[in-house]
Structure 1
């Protein structure tokens, strides 16, 4: 198995030995309103997330305005819409980016983005983005990956729809071009994704294959998949965010509201903390209760010199007497003194004669 290598984003270490790095994905849920986008950064920072992610493209840098069938979406949340129309609505305008980065810095939270072409990478580099996120649909665009990697920052790459060879090629392209480490995110590129398709056991398998931190870009409802992913070794959790699903937005249907995202942050960190290490010794927190384990107690008064019968001894709580496995050895022995019902049994109370 390849050795897993930790990475750092803006001083925050990411790897198997670290609490999960939780990314709040704003996507297009700003609904074209800069004030709403800024309010989303405020609300996202308040959830306790580690980072906020936006998307950097225009409708014309990500697709073309062409009236052909393959440029129109069939099925799902965006059925019937053209790609250009959808991305025109969902784009985060380039001119907003300085204000968004400034607001995130003021709130003390990391902000980075998914670039979708070289102009987006250049913009993010000028704003000193501490990392770049490559979306699942762009994971096969090795020139874009290499261009982003040349800035020497970590790359986080979602792997939805990618097969093993494509994932390996994306990782290798990033590292060869100078990325300061790679994180791969298991992802199901379905919106929303079903729990039946989540296949979270892919996470430890990816860790064994690729030798880098592995996470989850989660499009399932709620927080259950994210918590389970952390239990399976996910180092990064990415989840979409909105102020309110009822406000609408391109990704609102599978996004978490602020209280839900706060719960996600808390629950994933608790899940990581609960993993601990394999151990079988008495914990300090258990010591006070150890006295209430079962042990052998005198169940009826017994005169000195009388043999103990099965009816004279019981295995009960608390645990100050002999261990229960000695019960058969106790029966048939002779009381060395008067024994009172409710006394914990000890070897000096018994003799073989």
Structure 2
């Protein structure tokens, strides 16, 4: 059984009280509750929330009763639980795919039911934000939100069940269930995730994800990647503003340095986080890990100097996938990672450029493997621009 939600082991990090960066999922306090970009179609527009009911009425989602979800999950039985985080627990359940009524286990459509911990004062605004965004957006590389439940103190979100669980589990968990992802699958996941970000960053949607990391990338039965957990999402800057000013929120190891320093959030902040995940895909190592030798605790700080030297790129690559990629592929992905992780945000590519490079890499690999022909240097993508 794959799990829908997982929490990566994080490194404890001290921060001032006003700093919202956290080392555990669910420890998020501030979110954006304003409407989506006015360029989204009128059927998907969200109201600026005046109350909980107003937000929920604006969402095109199923309003489940608590009893319906209790039945669907077999009374939230422990053996139905597939994950746990700061938000609460996630349970596997079953509903009829047409009526959305609860069904017997093993029949109908499988769902993931995320239940807010009633004893936690965290997560309520995040719960509302999830509905505000994910309830209105639809894309193959975003997890589908089916509905919610709000009764008394019960706050629940209902998603499609994503069979193979999180990328975090597949990259970092050791055991017979989780086999090392192949290089081809890792690059497919990178491309899928980039396409999800490209949709969010588009002019029509104009959303900054703000929490791009391996535990928020879910894999279905065909290893298609879907972004999940939109509790920290923010609308892009309005008018001629270059950034959104906000409290610093997110997860240590993934947040862009200029965002941590200033609270200025841009789409290039997501690009930096994408670069971190790309490094994790290449290396099979977590962004932060105190168990690694001195000087290697931070993956970015350790890997960036090695990636700038073509003779040392192999030192970064995951030994479990050795021989599955060419030196040329490794060089291109290393170059992309370095650009995404630039300390100067203007030097980072935009997400559409990232998608194009990953697509080119995928297409050229397909062509090469089908014809065994030497790739034409003239087909190499032009250098990325900021």
TM-score by length of 1: 0.23
- When normalised by structure 2's length, the TM-score is 0.21
Which of the pair has more CA radius of gyration? 1
